Structure 1
Amino acid sequence: MRAEVFVVEQTCPYLDLDDKDTHPEVVHLLGYQDEHCVAYARCLPPGLSYASPSIGRVLVTELARGKGYAYTLMQEAIAQCQQQWPGQGITIGAQVYLQDFYQKLNFLPISDVYLEDDIEHIDMVLPGE
């Protein structure tokens, strides 16, 4: 599913699977519509991608978009990070076109725009408590 969205749909050839997927503290979130997996995100512990906990590989499949699943998925990912690593901020590397979406979840931009795999990104943080 990740390859379908990130590699095929976004025409971005890169190695999706990485050593972070099997790290013992990573939390993988799956969202289902009926019996079909339509949403995914992973929560990463501090020090794996950023100094703080982070959320990445966030996706909703094309046919499931527009139903609020991404917002629900991110709310759950935030809750999981706060439960696993309480009191810490959460950092994301957001695709720039989704910056407004993440700001609605209270993430704040903390970097300039940069290219990652030929796609504009910006680092954002949800401040800790």
Structure 2
Amino acid sequence: MPLSDSMTAKWLAFDAFSLSELYALLKLRQDVFILEQESFYADIDGKDPDALHYMITDRAASGLLGAIRLFVEAGENTARIGRVVIAPEARGTGLGRSLMQAGIDKAQELAPGCGIHVSAQAYLEKFYGSLGFRTVSEVYIEDGIPHIDMIRP
């Protein structure tokens, strides 16, 4: 998804968030993961301060369109992308691919050659596969939703 003139994309460490950016991120994750998907779990899990966050916003639309969080363990040569969230109005636009590619690129920048892990909702296996991830687990239930573990070597 090419960014329009009204859109911005940026990486943020947790302590660089403004209060309004943090509120928008937590609200979008709540609206999608907890309310829309009816998965009642502790989204605020204490891990956000340790992650880098990539956010795409649109001033002309509803604000935050999508986000991911990235954990990189350079010493272990691994990374993990999670909390991939897209606002309903931005789905089907290629935003998910843009978010994931940004995460892959950032992980490779911070830990060249690292393996990248995702715990993917099972119905998205083909999408993640198209980005070079391969399935490494059977389907399992996490927070009431079928998931699979995938790695991009």
TM-score by shorter chain over 0.5? yes
Higher helix share: 2
C-alpha contact (below 8 Å) 2:77/2:113 kept by paired residues? no
Cα distance in 2 between the residues matched to 1:88 and 1:106: 13
Cα distance in 2 between the residues matched to 1:51 and 1:4: 33
* Structure-to-structure mapping, 1:45-56, within 5 angstroms: 45-46=72-73, 52-56=78-82
Give the alignment's TM-score, normalised by structure 1. Answer: 0.90
* Structure-to-structure mapping, 1:78-117, within 5 angstroms: 78-117=104-143
Counterpart residue type for residue 123 of structure 1: D
Q: Which runs of 5+ in 2 are unaligned?
A: 1-27
4+ aligned runs moved over 6 Å, structure 1:
none
Give the alignment's TM-score, normalised by structure 2. Answer: 0.76
Are residue 2 (structure 1) and residue 29 (structure 2) matched?
A: yes
C-alpha contact (below 8 Å) 2:53/2:67 kept by paired residues? yes
**SS, match of residue 73 in structure 2:** coil
Q: Percent identity?
A: 39
| Residues 35-94 of structure 1: per-residue CA shift (max 9 Å, x gap) | 5111000001239xx982100000111011111111111100111111112111100000
Which structure: larger Rg? 2
Are residue 30 (structure 1) and residue 55 (structure 2) matched?
A: yes
Q: CA RMSD in A?
A: 1.7
